[in-house]
Amino acid sequence: MNLDRIDLPLVAILRGLDPADAATVGRTLFDAGFRLIEVPLNRPGALQAMGIIRDLAPPDALVGGGTMLTLADVDAVADAGGRIFVAPNYDPAVIAHARERGLLCAPGVATPTEAFAALAAGAHILKLFPAETIGPAGLKAMKSVLPAGTPLWPVGGVTPEQIAAWKAAGATGAGIGSQLFTPGVAPDELARRAQAFAAAWHAA
């Protein structure tokens, strides 16, 4: 899967999304330029919400699951038409299975050891989690020893004001959770937050 065609490499993490709100949330994010959507599986209704967003997504969007911890999680998302595998951890068997199912694989890592192991298992992208503890300096140091061109996405507490620092350190994208979406957020507020992140990324 070629990420070069994604103009805004920010992943909207929609934890706790109610399926009844999925269409409105999805349209709002797509209108703001988001093309990467993650619905974490550790909340009720996640697969249904993911499917609703997938059905209305633009052709260049990728929609998938987050907090995917098991082979069964991978199968559930793939069978529901999801195209992204995101996890908070590194599990070689789960990564390999997600890759076999054709998903874009972004497992969570926090150390160089985990990063190299995840790449060896087939990861396409490294999710640096929790980003708050790794920081831009940690990302920059990790990038210096990883294979050139390795996509690095900090996740956890990333704000629009921090985007420039993360990009300067070598981040090629980021995952945005509660700073962007919280259950019940009004569509106009979601649009404002999404536009702020998009503007910060393009300006950096």
Angle at 2 between CA 133 and CA 181, to 5 degrees: 45
Give the list of residues 6+ apart from residue 56 with CB closer than 8 angstroms, or none: 23, 26, 27, 30
Instruction: Tell me, yes or no, if 143 is annotated catalytic.
Output: no
Q: Looking at 38, 140, 143, 161, which residue is catalytic?
A: 38
Q: Looking at 127, 140, 167, 189, which residue is catalytic?
A: 127
Give the list of residues 6+ apart from residue 29 with CB closer than 8 angstroms, or none: 12, 37, 190, 194
| Residue 192 to residue 194: CA distance in whole angstroms | 6
Tokens 């490294």 appear where? Answer: 126
Note whether 103 and 82 are within 8 A (CB): yes
Task: List the end-to-end C-alpha distance of the chain, in Å, as a whole number.
Answer: 25
Instruction: Tell me, yes or no, if 140 is annotated catalytic.
Output: no
Catalytic residue positions, numbered: 38, 127
